[in-house]
Amino acid sequence: MMKRIIILAALLLVAAACGQRRFERVIKTDSRYDIVCLDGKCGVFDTKADSLVTKCDYDALSFLKRADEDSVAVVLFSCRKDDMEGMLGVLEQNNEIMQVMFPSHPDED
């Protein structure tokens, strides 16, 4: 009887995990970070840590490159959020992020 309960519980756990939709779309990159999309917004996902590095709140993300200098690796993305465009960098050592954003359409005089 106990064996049947354990098997049933395991089957229910597997069925529940299969039914979850984690992301609408995953865009693979040439690095350990993927771009993931949920509800029309994008974020950066660390495949090694199996976790989000950023929230899914960017309107667009594009992988640019992975730069490795003096044993420091940074993965760079171009990004757009609201009316801003810029670059997002993720430090592979600890997933720290740095972003630089500028207005998409600066006022010209």
Tokens at 20, concatenated: 């979850």
Q: Residue 34: enclosing H or E segment and its boundaries?
A: strand 33-38
Q: pTM for this structure?
A: 0.75
Where the chain has pLDDT below 50, the residues are: 19-20
Q: What is the pLDDT of residue 10?
A: 64
Q: What is the pLDDT of residue 12?
A: 60
Write the burial class of residue 35 (CB in 10 Å: 0-12 exposed, 13-18 middle, 19+ buried): buried
27-36 per-position pLDDT tens digit: 999 889 999 9
Instruction: Give the three-state DSSP class for 71.
Output: coil
Residue of 72, 76, 94, 95 whose CA lies nearest to 86? 76
Q: CB of 61 within 8 A of CB of 35? A: yes
